[in-house]
Chain A
Amino acid sequence: AQSVTQPDIHITVSEGASLELRCNYSYGATPYLFWYVQSPGQGLQLLLKYFSGDTLVQGIKGFEAEFKRSQSSFNLRKPSVHWSDAAEYFCAVGPSGGYQKVTFGTGTKLQVIP
């Protein structure tokens, strides 16, 4: 069965500092990987996705993620965090071929301090 682990429940960074959110997955075949962001009381917005090809994926809002098969990881990064990035971030994995049965991690809540 597929699963996703986000080891950090809560992260606090200073505005302007770099950010890395960790995500490890378990999946038997080539996975589809996603990062979503959720602002308080809102739905989820797709930041980026990895299907195949270049393992470094660029997303919206200046985010990027790197797929490392050997480490079963798909960590999200941003070089300089803005106060508006404060939100909850979810990593997700799904089977290749589409979005059936996407499994979400438990999320990482990001707090940005001035």
Chain B
Amino acid sequence: GAVVSQHPSRVICKSGTSVKIECRSLDFQATTMFWYRQFPKKSLMLMATSNEGSKATYEQGVEKDKFLINHASLTLSTLTVTSAHPEDSSFYICSARSRDLSSGANVLTFGAGSRLTVL
């Protein structure tokens, strides 16, 4: 089945630095990927929709300049947290849309997530 690889799984950085998280579709092409943020004991919050070859679409309240998304190829989307601060510490999860072979419907496959800790 479809596999989405997310890297790094854990990252610790100093306040003020930038961190890049990669999301790769390993065995399929993903024209659309999604980035979520998960707060402790909370649900997943959709941050943005990443479209290959075009600008990402951000959800209301998500800072575009803080969370830079680039979808330069059909298998890679990156999320860069710029000038990170402790309040940016969170679990970030990406997902990619692929085609379910049995039903023909669109399927969301999730990466394993990236735990960001900003000191």
Binding site for B on A (CB under 8 A): 34, 36, 41-46, 49, 51, 90, 98-107
Q: How far is the CA of A51 from the CA of B102 in the complex (A)?
A: 13
How many of chain B's residues have a CB under 8 angstroms from any CB in A?
Answer: 23
Could you tell me the distance in whole angstroms from the C-beta of A45 to the nearest C-beta in chain B? 7
Majority DSSP secondary structure for residues of B touching A = strand
Give the complex CA separation of A103 and B113 in angstroms.
Answer: 18
**Partner-A contacts on B (CB < 8 A):** 4, 6, 9, 34, 42-44, 46, 49, 93, 95, 97, 103, 105-113, 115
Q: A104 to B108: give the CA distance in the assembly, Å.
A: 13
Q: Which residues of A contact B42 (CB under 8 A)?
A: 106
Question: Considering the complex of A and B, which 7 residue pairs feature the smallest CB-CB distances, nearest first?
Answer: A43-B112, A43-B110, A44-B110, A98-B106, A104-B43, A106-B43, A99-B108
Residue of chain B at shortest CB distance from A99: B108
Tell me which residues across on chain B come within 8 A of A101, comparing CB atoms: 46
Contact of B113 among A34, A41, A51, A90 (CB under 8 A): A41
Q: Are A42 and B113 in contact (CB under 8 A)?
A: yes
- Which residues of B sit under 8 angstroms from A36, Cβ to Cβ? 110
Whether B108 lies near A46 (C-beta < 8 A) is yes
CA distance A51 to B109 in the complex (A): 17
